[in-house]
Amino acid sequence: MKYISTRGNNQNMTSAQAIIAGLAKDGGLFVPESIPQVDMEFIQSLSDLSYQQRAVKVLSCFLTDYTQEEITGCVERAYGNGKFDDKAVAPLNIMDDLSVLELWHGPTSAFKDMALQLLPQLLSTALKKTGEKNQVLILVATSGDTGKAALEGFRDVDQTKIIVFYPENGVSRIQRLQMVTQQGNNVAVTAVKGNFDDAQSGVKAIFSHKEFNEKLNEAGVSLSSANSINWGRLVPQIVYYFSAYADLLKAGKIKAGDKISFTVPTGNFGDILAGYYAMRMGLPVAKLICASNTNNVLTDFLKTGVYDRNRDFYKTISPSMDILISSNLERLLYHVTDDAAQVAKWMQELAEKGRYDVGAEVLAKIQAVFGCDWADDAKTMDTINEVYGKNHYIADTHTAVAWRSAEDYMSQGHQEPMIVVSTASPYKFNESVLTALGQSVDGLDEFQLLDKLQAMNSFPIPAGLAALKDAQVRHSVVVEKTAMEKAVEAFAKAE
Residue 365: how many other CB atoms lie within 10 Å: 15
Question: With binding defined as CB under 6 A, does residue 30 bind ligand PLP?
Answer: no
Nearest residue (CB) to ligand PLP, 271 versus 330: 271
Question: With binding defined as CB under 6 A, does residue 194 bind ligand PLP?
Answer: no
Question: With binding defined as CB under 6 A, does residue 322 bind ligand PLP?
Answer: no
CB of 293 to ligand PLP, least distance (A): 10
277-306: which residues touch ligand PLP (CB under 6 A)?
A: none
User: What sign does the CA torsion over 267, 269, 274, 280 have?
Assistant: positive
Are 417 and 366 in contact by the 8 Å Cβ rule? The answer is no
CB of 150 to ligand PLP, least distance (A): 12
Among 178, 228, 296, 299, binds ligand PLP (CB under 6 A): 228
Question: With binding defined as CB under 6 A, does residue 263 bind ligand PLP?
Answer: no
Q: Is 302 exposed, middle or buried (0-12, 13-18, 19+ CB in 10 A)?
A: buried
* Beta-sheet pairing, 30-32 with 3-5: antiparallel
**Pairs from 66-74 (Cβ < 8 Å, separation ≥ 24):** 66/15, 66/16, 66/122, 66/125, 66/129, 70/125, 70/129, 73/121, 73/125, 74/118, 74/121, 74/122, 74/125
Nearest residue (CB) to ligand PLP, 401 versus 484: 401
Instruction: Specify which residues 403 forms β-bridges with.
Output: none
Question: With binding defined as CB under 6 A, does residue 176 bind ligand PLP?
Answer: no
CB of 228 to ligand PLP, least distance (A): 5
Among 7, 54, 105, 112, binds ligand PLP (CB under 6 A): 112
Buried b (16+ CB within 10 A) or exposed e, 263-295: bbbbbbbbbbbbbbbbbbbbbbbbbbbbbbbbb
Is 25 a catalytic site residue?
no
CA 42 to chain centre: 26
Question: With binding defined as CB under 6 A, does residue 108 bind ligand PLP?
Answer: no
Question: With binding defined as CB under 6 A, does residue 267 bind ligand PLP?
Answer: yes
Binding part of the chain for ligand PLP, among 109-117, 165-173, 299-307, 384-392 by CB under 6 A, reads: 109-117
388-407: which residues touch ligand PLP (CB under 6 A)?
A: 398
Q: How many residues bind ligand PLP (CB under 6 A)?
A: 17
Question: With binding defined as CB under 6 A, does residue 265 bind ligand PLP?
Answer: yes
Question: With binding defined as CB under 6 A, does residue 145 bind ligand PLP?
Answer: yes
Q: What angle do CA 326, 379, 404 make, to 5 degrees?
A: 70
Binding part of the chain for ligand PLP, among 106-114, 301-309, 340-348, 435-443 by CB under 6 A, reads: 106-114
Nearest residue (CB) to ligand PLP, 406 versus 479: 406
Nearest residue (CB) to ligand PLP, 63 versus 290: 290
Amino acid of residue 226: A
Instruction: Report how far residue 30's alpha carbon sits from residue 350's, in angstroms, rounded to the nearest whole number.
Output: 19
CA 50 to chain centre: 22
Instruction: Report how far residue 258's alpha carbon sits from residue 488's, in angstroms, rounded to the nearest whole number.
Output: 50
Question: With binding defined as CB under 6 A, does residue 203 bind ligand PLP?
Answer: no
Binding part of the chain for ligand PLP, among 104-112, 212-220, 241-249, 278-286 by CB under 6 A, reads: 104-112
Are 47 and 243 in contact by the 8 Å Cβ rule? The answer is no
Question: With binding defined as CB under 6 A, does residue 266 bind ligand PLP?
Answer: yes
CB of 395 to ligand PLP, least distance (A): 11
Question: With binding defined as CB under 6 A, does residue 271 bind ligand PLP?
Answer: yes
Among 160, 225, 268, 294, binds ligand PLP (CB under 6 A): 268
Active-site residue among 2, 25, 83, 112? 112
Cα atoms found within 13 Å of the Cα of residue 20, Cβ hemisphere only: 20
User: What sign does the CA torsion over 227, 231, 232, 234 have?
Assistant: positive
Among 111, 154, 307, 388, binds ligand PLP (CB under 6 A): 111
- Cα 293 to Cα 266, 276, 479: the distances in Å are 8, 21, 28
Catalytic residues: 112
Q: Which residues make up the interface to ligand PLP (CB under 6 A)? A: 110-112, 145, 228, 265-271, 320-321, 398, 423-424
